[in-house]
């Protein structure tokens, strides 16, 4: 989804899936807790960043900025967490776990609950509240540095021409992001949504009975349970992003 600023917040989001960030206009700051310590990740205009699963994070967006954020659909048994920390520490002040279906509508009631809580009023954890057991362990791994997507693209053009597509991230990640050059692709029924962004040149995408021509700068979201064929002309450069839920065992072994 496209997200604009400004948006300054103190809550941290925790989920079992990854998040992919790309800044279209202006810069942003992603506050995270990396292996028990606060860390600020500055994602500049034109940069991309993949946040691993199970890392607390708090996006800070500034005025006149626009970014892309990708999150995958949750499985029926998954729970997300919303957490506040005691100022200048990593001690948990307040947290709530919930099954995420729509962050846009689900976060506001939890935030209001926090603002009306004893923890918010005192700045200390409410000892009368029994903490809910976390559904998973936090991820201790060190995150990557944001990188210029245009620089990455320029350095991989020969590989894209030769191999027809190149993965942006390692296979160990759930997120499947690949840049495609000229060629043809046919996919059967997909479990996850797929987003295609035409960066250069043109292509023709057929989803079910509908055919659409994509020009540079245009994008399309292919729904779940869809099959498609994709014909990419010479000079085509397109980004394709897909996030499929991974088995719990795989997620916990990151």
Of 11-15, 88-92, 170-174, 215-219, least confident by mean pLDDT is: 170-174
Query: How large is the average pLDDT for residues 33-59?
Result: 98
Residue 252 clears pLDDT 50, i.e. is over it: no
Residue 229 clears pLDDT 50, i.e. is over it: yes
pLDDT band at 246 (very low <50, low <70, confident <90, very high): low
Residue 178 contacts by C-beta under 8 Å, 6 or more apart in sequence? 165, 166, 167, 168, 239, 240
Report residue 105 as tokens: 């509508």
* Fold match between domain 2-146 and domain 156-249: yes
Question: How confident is the model at residue 115, as a pLDDT?
Answer: 97
The pLDDT > 90 percentage for the chain reads 86
Contact of 73 with 99, CB cutoff 8 Å = no
Instruction: Please tell me the CATH code under which domain 2-146 is placed.
Output: 2.60.120.10
195-217 pLDDT, tens digit per residue, is 999 999 999 999 999 999 999 99
Query: How large is the average pLDDT for residues 16-21?
Result: 97
The structural domains of the chain, with segments of one domain joined by +, span 2-146, 156-249
Average pLDDT, the chain: 94
Query: How large is the average pLDDT for residues 243-252?
Result: 57
Residue 249 clears pLDDT 50, i.e. is over it: no
pLDDT band at 254 (very low <50, low <70, confident <90, very high): very low
Domain 156-249 belongs to what architecture? Sandwich (2.60)
106-155 pLDDT, tens digit per residue, is 999 999 999 999 999 999 999 988 888 999 999 999 999 999 999 999 99
């Amino acid at each position: 989804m496209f997200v604009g600023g400004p948006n300054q917040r103190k809550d941290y989001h925790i989920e079992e899936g990854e998040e992919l960030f790309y800044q279209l206009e202006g810069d942003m700051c992603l506050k995270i807790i990396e292996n028990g310590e606060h860390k600020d990740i500055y994602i500049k205009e034109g940069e991309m960043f993949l946040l691993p699963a199970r890392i607390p994070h708090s996006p800070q967006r500034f005025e006149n900025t626009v970014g892309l954020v990708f999150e995958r659909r949750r499985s029926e048994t998954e729970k997300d967490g919303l957490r506040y920390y005691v100022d200048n520490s990593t001690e948990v002040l307040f947290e709530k776990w919930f099954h995420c279906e729509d962050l846009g509508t689900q976060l506001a009631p939890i935030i209001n609950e926090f603002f009306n809580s004893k923890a918010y009023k005192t700045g200390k954890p409410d000892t009368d509240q029994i903490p809910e057991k976390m559904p998973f362990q936090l991820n201790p791994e060190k995150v990557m540095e944001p990188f210029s997507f245009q620089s990455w693209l320029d350095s991989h053009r020969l590989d894209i021409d030769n191999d027809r597509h190149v993965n942006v991230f390692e296979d160990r990640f759930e997120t499947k992001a690949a840049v495609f050059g000229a060629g043809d692709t046919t996919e059967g029924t997909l479990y996850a949504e797929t987003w295609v962004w035409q960066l250069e040149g043109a292509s023709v995408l057929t989803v079910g009975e509908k055919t659409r021509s994509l020009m540079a700068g245009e994008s399309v979201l292919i729904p779940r349970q869809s099959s498609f064929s994709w014909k990419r002309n010479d000079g085509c450069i397109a980004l394709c992003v897909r996030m499929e839920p991974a088995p719990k065992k795989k997620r916990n072994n990151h």
